[in-house]
Chains A and B, each alone.
Chain A
Amino acid sequence: MSGANTPARDSRAPSVGRATLWVAAKELRAAFRDRQTTLYTIVLPIALYPFLFWCLIQASLFVQGRREHTEVQVGLAAAGDARIPDGLSDALALRPTSRDDPAADDALRRRLAAIDRVRVGPVRQPLDAAAAREWAEARSHAATEDEARDLPDAVVFVPSAASVDDARASADDNARLTVYYDSTQTASELARRRVVERIPPFVDGLRAARLPAGTPSEALEPFRLAPPRDVAPQKDQGAYLLSFVLPMLLVVMCVLGAFFPAVDVTAGERERNTAETTLLLPVPRRAVHQGKILAVCTGAIVATSLNLFALALSAGHLLQMLPRGGDVQIEVPLAAFASIAPLALLFAFFVSAALVGIASFARTFKEGQALLGPVQMVFILPAMAGAIPNLELTPGLACVPVVNVVLAFRALLNGESLPLEYAITAASLAASALFAIWASVKLLSRESLFAPERSGSGGVGAWFSGLFGGGR
């Protein structure tokens, strides 16, 4: 316009550096006004990852606590002419610190004595190595809890050549103490660890007591500990190994399988402008929303099944590539899969309905992905319980969704029969799935989805009004 004043302008153009900074400032301002960028750049680092680490630490402390308070039983077996070293039972029964540490006061000593306990006994002599091995296997084969009660979790076998009076180092395997244990049994594995941990200090103590001052410690080799012998059949070892990996993968794959379909049928539909088209269908709205959840659930099940099947088939070959992997035999646990299928189906419905309900708050596909990214951790984190060695499916844990399905799957892979716990797991998952479907249908039915210009899509208020407000 002719009357407008020409603004005063610096004759020099901004330098490249200054222009770069201005562009960067504008891009940053625009970027941080994008909810997805803000979520991943600010909210997640501040909130989610500390929370995640806190959860991991808590889980680790929980597992450590359970391990420490698990008492194991170690049987002592000895060949006919072997002499069980004096003090061996005491050495195995107590942690070295609780027994020897001069700095430990009585209270600390008592507390230390209460953890990592080993009940030693009974002692069976004479017994040869083969019989000792069978004794170690007996607990795994026990049919009932009563039968298993007095059987040891692990057996320490003392061969005839082992003696504290024998001052020579021996290369003969028979001169070594051997621990027989079952790697597929948590308590047995704990027993092995505790024995292996406690023998060397005991041997050192014997040396110190018997050798004259200044004599090299190698001069006396009372006995040594042979590499522990795993009595679990290779097939069971394979199943045990799978039982740590597959349950967690089941959850991860199910969540990932439901992820994109959930975003697609909600935010994707809004973005494609087909949400209203779908609402014009001459069927009850509930049927439309349930149909969406069913579609997402089917996607999750297909993805999970294909992933698990492919993994189970290739697990054996992958294991061969690992050190000692050849010792383990992997078999596709079809029976366990068949047993877990009903629980997995309920879980898939639960996950699918939950993800669909939450994704309904997103206006675009991109926003949906950003929203469900952190949400999937809510499922995946508890699934890590499946990799905790000492955690077993109890009636209490069977009530906790996600945790229950991984522990149930693990128990089924290990061939455990827990009818009560499975029933509770199924009931808990069914209740969770039904609630999630109800909530999801309510959220999908809220009017604000179809009048986006008049309502925000997020906020706690929107969640509650979506759940408990009126819908059609």
Chain B
Amino acid sequence: MSASPYPPRGAAPIAIEAIGLEKSFVDPKRGVVKAVRGIDLDCRRGEIFGLLGPNGAGKTTTLRMLATILAPSAGTARIDGVDVARDPLEARRRLGFLSGSTGLYPRLSPRETLAYFGKLHGLTGDALDARIEELVDAFSMRDYADGRCEALSTGQKQKVSIARAVLHDPPALILDEPTTGLDILASSAMIDFVESRRSAGRCVLFSTHVLSEAERLCDRIGVIFHGRVLDVGTKDELRERTGKTWLEDVFKELVRRAGEDPDAAAARGRSV
């Protein structure tokens, strides 16, 4: 096993933690649907943790529970040590969340958006103004900071969304398929951003089904399938345990070991 360039596990405090996390929905047609079936994971400061799985595996539901958008049916989730069920407000204060369904208010400008979130995060006056200016410069938004968000390009919107998510400099950041729908340049900028958060000692948990992203970014990967985490480890650990080289094969092997036919599972995933 090659030496990891990342901090050893256990050295940094846990920023995102899930213990036996479950989520069930009542569907009028299908009855009780178990979307997440007891997920355990932990993500430390200075670490990028990738949740890898096909569509319908339970990635988004898990992340929504961690972000306090959905209530867990069972289990515990903590953000920077704060239980999301007991104190969702404090959990939200310590978390940045970005997904395909966290759009921007189209009739506000980027600056107004940041001011709105900043105020509600407790920033006021000069401190708020200074933070907004810092983010405007950091994400090169000055040219369009005062125009309406509805007029921005996809890449510009993504920058504003990231700025919104890190405005309060949260110790934990959750990104749900952050590069979906982005072009090459915008995707690259997003990847640079995620790496910069790790460098800043923050924790990043992100979901993806793009294997190359996971390969490049993640310190550790959790393979999620059918609402369960099949395995967690560094890329090398996963390769070693499965005897496969490519992440795609690693994933298929883990699914096969879980008693599923990977091709049938893939077809089922597409139909979810």
Spell out A's residues near B (CB within 8 Å): 272-277, 279-284, 447, 450-451, 454-456, 459, 461, 470, 472
Contact = CB atoms under 8 A, between A and B. Distances in A.
Contact of B69 (A279, A455, A459, A461): A279
Given A281-B120, A282-B92, A283-B89, A451 B101 contact: no
Contact of A272 (B68, B106, B121): B106
Contacts of B120: 281-283
B64 interface: yes
Given A282-B121, A283-B120, A454-B33, A277 B92 contact: no
A274 B104 contact: yes
Nearest to A472: B71
A279 B89 CA distance: 10
Contacts of B101: 273, 275-276
B104 A277 contact: yes
Given A281-B117, A447-B70, A455 B25 contact: yes
A272 B149 CA distance: 12
Contact of B71 (A273, A281, A283, A470): A470
Nearest to A453: B272
Given A280-B92, A447-B70, A450-B70, A273 B103 contact: yes
B99 A276 contact: yes
Given A281-B92, A282-B120, A455-B27, A276 B69 contact: yes
B262 interface: no
B105 interface: yes
A180 B258 CA distance: 96
Interface residues of B, number: 33
B62 to A, nearest CB: 13
Contacts of A277: 102-105, 164
Given A450-B64, A472-B88, A280 B102 contact: yes
Contacts of B28: 455-456, 459, 461
B67 interface: yes
Interface of B: 25-28, 33, 35, 61, 64, 67-71, 88-89, 92-93, 95, 97, 99-106, 117, 120-122, 164, 168
A273 B101 CA distance: 5
Contacts of A450: 64, 69-70
Nearest to B25: A454
Contacts of A447: 70-71
A459 B26 CA distance: 14
A265 to B, nearest CB: 11
Contacts of A284: 89
Nearest to A288: B120
Nearest to B30: A454
Contact of A274 (B68, B103, B117): B103
Nearest to B94: A282
Nearest to B161: A277
Given A277-B102, A451-B25, 5 more contacts: A276-B69, A451-B64, A454-B27, A455-B26, A470-B71
Contacts of A456: 28
Contacts of A276: 69, 99, 101-102
B164 to A, nearest CB: 8
A276 B61 CA distance: 13
From B26, B61, B95, B168, name the one whose CB has the most chain A CB atoms within 10 angstroms. B26
Contacts of B97: 280
Nearest to B56: A453
